[in-house]
Structure 1
Amino acid sequence: MGDVREWVALYLKGVAMGTADAVPGVSGGTIALIIGIYERLIAAVTAINPERIGRVLAGIRPRNVPDARAAFHEIDGAFLVVLVAGIGTAVVAVLTGVDYLLMTRPVATYGFFFGLIAASAAVLLGGVELDTPRRKAAAVAGFLLAFLASGYASTALGSSLPVVFLAGAVAVSAMILPGVSGSLLLIVLGQYDYMAGAVREFVGGLAGLAFGSGTDVLVATGPPVATFLVGGIVGVFSIAHAVKYALARARAATVAFLVSLVVGALRAPLVEVSLRLAESGESWRAAAPRFTAAAVGGAAVVLVLNRYSRTIEY
């Protein structure tokens, strides 16, 4: 019974991480630190390699089952399966709700995101050191990259499958880094609204299968959702390891770059709200109270999380 309680607790921790991952400005990695599983998560992710995956897949043959079990244990497979199940449950649920809010309450929703991002930036800036030209250059590069891309990437890039693949690789990799939000990077890349809508419609299509409908929706939304997931898997094996290498070789400069991405991304919610207001004909002056109130709420969430988190060590 104790084991069951442990797995349920781990699943709920995954739900907490997934909830954070699905909203811009809060990092699932930070939540992993707070709930005490970050080190185990990183150890499990970095233990995955093609050789061990091959051994696990070879378990379809009876004679390879013992070795497959050993490889599964080496990557802490049970831990990852339960945790990812919790993360996936929360991401789907939250994105479905967020997609509805973006359609009905865009100003307040983006205001909340702005507060999340601003408070996250304020918290993270305390750990940034800009005492060398290299670190200053990294900070400027990170800021400019996010600032220039924010709000315009969706127009320039569109939402083709290669772009969705890239977004999945970048976002999922960022989700395991404390302080950096994968969903925030989706907003910078202009893919957050698109993926939130795709996930909502895909889940609706799956539900519709029980009533003999939903096939057309799955055909339309299945490719982008699957492409995003494949991109995420590739990202974990490539980008996440590259960032880990960069942190090991040039920690301060890499942290300066990552945190500056968060600061530069503050432009994204403002641009998105401006676009929505232009469509509706409402002025910023009329929308400002809603935006500000929601931003204060978002900032409060981050500050409370930070108060109960341990010092972030990259």
Structure 2
Amino acid sequence: MTSAPETAEELPTLRGSVPPVREWLRTFAIGICMGSADAVPGVSGGTIALIAGIYGRLIAMVTAVTPERALSLLDALVPTGDGVSVRRALSVWEAVDGWFGLALLSGVLTAIVVVTRIVHVASERYPTLLFGFFFGLIAASAVILLRELAVRTGGQAAAGVAGVVIAFLLSGPVEFLESGGLPLVFVAGAIAVSAMILPGISGSLLLVILGQYTRMSDALSLFLESLVGLATGGPLAAVVEYGTVVVTFVLGGVVGLFTISRAVRRALDWNRQATMAFLIGLVVGALRAPVNEVRTEVGLSTEVALAFAGAAVVGAVALLILDYVAVDLDLDTV
């Protein structure tokens, strides 16, 4: 017997469910800003969500997606059992704020594609300036976060030190990170995407720590190039090669968004200050990563150091200006 909320009269219709175009465009624009932030180390898409006033809605959407609702949506769309029911599917879709998520994700993905293309070109032509800029972003992000952190116990201090040490060690030359295959890509996707919803903590920064940032930027850019090439008669092998990496990363991201991100939220609920101290420690320790990239790719010299420092100043100033004109980050709202 059909329960009251599932009667035909109360189930949503497609026409009544789809939000106005203006709301779509606003959410898409916020997604563009979030994606642009998430695509560079030191800037967090979660911070942009906080500034735009959608952070609470974003967290509610992520936590609303459960295996039970996913199965209910699939059941409503597959011609088995009670048959296909668009209105039942819309009921589940609205319960997880699906239209909002779709518009936001579209904006995020659009921005990531554009920014990673820029990063791919810059890493080949101007690696010193690129990683110097990233160093400035990370350093300024660390300053902003440390300003808001109040360490009151030895345990919180130990958590912060642990974050610094872990990030510092991983940011150096680590063989298993440099030669890691698809399993590492999957794990990197899970960790990076789960961090993207945290204000102040950049998913791209974690990719830098894991030594996968340049690899993933290159893979996505080359995958899109190979798709264009395939459309004009190019080889399929390149699409498969780079597409496998991209798909593996995305699958890891989906898993991380609904597993690791929830674990982080629980850790924040259990001991907010210690968890934030650890996460901020990761940011501080990650300052080694851009330096290591330049040392490996270009080598160290006076000329390189000056260019690196100049780009770092530009990155730091850009982020500090954003912090000044946007919002004071309150870690208690994370």
Rounded Cα–Cα distance in structure 2 between residues aligned with 1:291 and 1:154: 25
Q: Which residue in the other structure is 2:327 paired with? A: 309
Q: Which residue in the other structure is 2:154 paired with? A: 133
More displaced 10-residue stretch of structure 1: 43-52 or 202-211: 202-211
Q: Which residue in the other structure is 1:298 paired with? A: 315
TM-score, normalized by length of structure 1?
A: 0.95
- 1:121, 1:262 within 8 Å by CA — same for their partners in 2? yes
Cα root mean square deviation, aligned: 1.6
Is it true that 1:269 corresponds to 2:287 in the alignment?
no
The one-letter amino acid paired with 2:323 is N
The CA deviation string for residues 147-182 of structure 1, in whole angstroms up to 9 with x for no partner, is 110032465452301000000000000111000011
Kindly report which structure 2 residues correspond to 1:217-236, keeping only aligned pairs within 5 A, or say none.
Answer: 217-236=238-257
The CA deviation string for residues 200-227 of structure 1, in whole angstroms up to 9 with x for no partner, is 1111112123212242211111111000
Q: Which residue in the other structure is 1:121 paired with? A: 142
Is it true that 1:30 corresponds to 2:47 in the alignment?
yes
The one-letter amino acid paired with 1:66 is R
Residue 188 of structure 2, aligned match among 145, 153, 167: 167
The one-letter amino acid paired with 1:150 is S
Q: Which residue in the other structure is 2:14 paired with? A: none
Rounded Cα–Cα distance in structure 1 between residues aligned with 2:49 and 2:281: 22
Rounded Cα–Cα distance in structure 1 between residues aligned with 2:94 and 2:301: 55
Q: Which residue in the other structure is 2:220 paired with? A: 199
| Matched position secondary structure for 1:126 | helix
The CA deviation string for residues 5-28 of structure 1, in whole angstroms up to 9 with x for no partner, is 221121111011000000000001
Residue 118 of structure 2, aligned match among 90, 97, 103: 97
Rounded Cα–Cα distance in structure 1 between residues aligned with 2:305 and 2:292: 14
How far did residue 311 of structure 1 move?
2.9
Q: Which residue in the other structure is 1:182 paired with? A: 203
Task: Tell me which structure has the larger Cα radius of gyration.
Answer: 2
Q: Which residue in the other structure is 1:44 paired with? A: 61
Rounded Cα–Cα distance in structure 1 between residues aligned with 2:119 and 2:146: 28
- 1:106, 1:273 within 8 Å by CA — same for their partners in 2? yes
Q: Which residue in the other structure is 2:13 paired with? A: none
Q: Which residue in the other structure is 2:33 paired with? A: 16
- 2:177, 2:211 within 8 Å by CA — same for their partners in 1? no
Unmatched 5+ stretches in structure 1 = none
Is it true that 1:83 corresponds to 2:104 in the alignment?
yes
Q: Which residue in the other structure is 2:302 paired with? A: 285
Q: Which residue in the other structure is 1:246 paired with? A: 267
Distance 1:214 1:176, change over 3 A: farther
Rounded Cα–Cα distance in structure 1 between residues aligned with 2:272 and 2:34: 24
Rounded Cα–Cα distance in structure 1 between residues aligned with 2:319 and 2:235: 38
The one-letter amino acid paired with 1:8 is L
The one-letter amino acid paired with 1:42 is I
How far did residue 87 of structure 1 move?
0.3
Residue 68 of structure 1, aligned match among 59, 66, 89: 89
Name the % identity: 48
Q: Name the count of aligned residue pairs.
A: 310
- 2:177, 2:184 within 8 Å by CA — same for their partners in 1? no
The one-letter amino acid paired with 1:5 is R
- 1:157, 1:163 within 8 Å by CA — same for their partners in 2? no
How far did residue 127 of structure 1 move?
1.9
How far did residue 310 of structure 1 move?
4.0
